[in-house]
Structures are given as C-alpha cells and as structure tokens.
Amino acid sequence: MSAIKGFSEETFTADDRTFTLFRKGEGPGVILLHELPGLTQETVEFAEWIADRGFHVVMPLLFGRPLQNPILGLLKAPFVCIRKEFNILAAGKSSAITVPLRALCGKVHAERGGPGIGAIGMCYTGGFVFAMMLEASLLAPVAAQPSLPLFQPDALDVEPEVLAFASSREDTMSLLGLRFKDDFRCPAARFQRLEKSLQNAAGSARPRFRSITVPGKAHSTLTLDYQTALDQGIDTRELVLQHLRAQLHD
C-alpha cells in the first residue's frame, strides 16, 4: 500500500542512491521535486493538480517522510544541510543528487514516451533542474524560487560548463523561472545570471529562459504562497501548466 493515497509507490536506484517514487496520472512525464520542509501535503496537492490536467507526475522522496509536517521538516533542516548529496554553499557546483535525478529523467521518458519530460524544482531543489538540463529528454524544466547556494545572490548551484551545454542545445528545451520580487532567498541577481548564461537556440521562437516575477515578499510560488501569487493577479500554477503543454504537447 502506498504511503500517499491515490499515488502508486515504487523504488528507483541510480548512482548508488535509492529513492522512493510516488506516481500518478496519465500523459507526458513530469518530475516534481519537493522543497525543504519535505514532501508535504501542499506538495502532494500540487502534484494532484498537475496530474488532473493531463500529465504523469513522479515525486521522488529526497529527504524526510511522506506527508511530513512543514514545521518538523524545517526543524530537521540543519541535518539535511550537511548531507553530502546537497550543495549548500559552493557556487558553480551541482549537488551530487542531480546525477541520479538525471537518470530518473531518462527512465520516466522511456516509460511515458512523447517528445520529452518536464521537471519542477522548488526552493532548496529549485536549482537541481539546472544540472538536470544535461539530460536530453528534459525539455520543460521549471525553477521555482531556486535558493541555493545560500548567501550568494548572483550565484547558481551548477557548473558554468553545464549551463554552456544547456545553452548550446539544438532542441526546444526552455527553462521557466518563478520568484517573488522581494524574496531575499531567491534574489533577482540569480535570474539575471541565468539570462546571461542561457542563449536562445538558433532559429527557435521559444526563449531558452523565461522568468516570472510576482510582486511581494513571499517565497513558495507554487505551494505555500500560491494564494499570495493569485492575490497579486498572477496564477503561477497556470503559467507552469502552459509551459508544460507548450513544451511537451505541441
């Protein structure tokens, strides 16, 4: 029996790392990476929202327990931060966990078919999608309020050569970025760095990187502060849905 009602549960191993996967829905694959509090009810609700709109959502459990209380997840944050799989402070360096996540991209695409898959990282995992762009099957990455590395506003948790490779891809891969305007954990300088690093593919009308900035001082654009974005007149979930459809259906 699955630990999350309505989702199937299985394990996946790559690069000596084993994840529990929770899956739901039909259609092109979308990998959803939960944020720092853990795989909370809010993340599950967002996954269900995506699955109900024509996609097969795959949620790897990266740390903590399924349906973990956000407060408990934050209390355990210092223990998460010292794990070797996660790059917290080093600029220009990918987290080790992105290696098996790239393998997961290939697995999901092989199973679901279509032109490619999507991947959504949020907060602590927001920048993981940058290194995942090495995987050819990833056509619709989304970086929601990427927060690493800490205390370095214009830094990214990915090697410059990885961004150069992503920028040189000859396909229609396009990265969508989301942040709140006054979010100190995901400053504007971080997206400005992405703008400079990712160049549009030759002959493609789709931007390699497109960013959405929501007015206000909140943080979680797609989950805990989604209503705040709606109150500002910006439906961040709908924008992600449009991005997934444009990249994976058209």
Is residue 195 within 8 A of residue 213, CB to CB? The reply is no
Q: What percent of the chain has pLDDT over 90?
A: 81
Rg (CA), the chain: 16
Q: What is the pLDDT of residue 239?
A: 98
pLDDT of 5 strictly over 70:
yes
DSSP-assigned states of every residue in 143-174: EES---STT-TT--SS-HHHHHHHHH-SS---
The first and second tokens of residue 34, run together, are 């939960």
pLDDT bracket for residue 250 (50, 70, 90):
low
> Distance between the two ends of the chain, CA-based, in angstroms?
36
Q: What is the pLDDT of residue 188?
A: 98
Q: What is the pLDDT of residue 205?
A: 77
pLDDT digits (tens, 9 = 90+) for 159-217: 999 999 999 999 999 999 999 999 999 999 999 999 999 988 777 778 999 999 999 99
pLDDT bracket for residue 77 (50, 70, 90):
low
Q: What is the pLDDT of residue 70?
A: 67
The residues, ordered by sequence, that sit 6+ positions from 43 with a Cβ below 8 Å of its Cβ are 32, 34, 35, 59, 122, 223
Q: What is the pLDDT of residue 80?
A: 57
pLDDT of 82 strictly over 80:
no
Top-ranked range on mean pLDDT: pick from 18-27, 56-65, 74-83: 18-27
- Element of type H or E holding 197: helix 188-197
More confident: 85 or 105: 105
Mean residue pLDDT across the chain? 93
pLDDT of 228 strictly over 90:
yes
Q: What is the pLDDT of residue 58?
A: 98
Q: Which domains does the chain have, with CATH numbers?
A: 8-248 (3.40.50.1820)
Q: What is the pLDDT of residue 87?
A: 83
pLDDT bracket for residue 71 (50, 70, 90):
low
pLDDT of 49 strictly over 90:
yes
Mean pLDDT of 64-78: 68
Q: What is the pLDDT of residue 129?
A: 98
pLDDT of 37 strictly over 90:
no
Query: Across the beta sheet with 17-24, what order do the strands follow?
Result: 8-14, 17-24, 56-61, 29-32, 117-122, 138-144, 175-180, 209-214
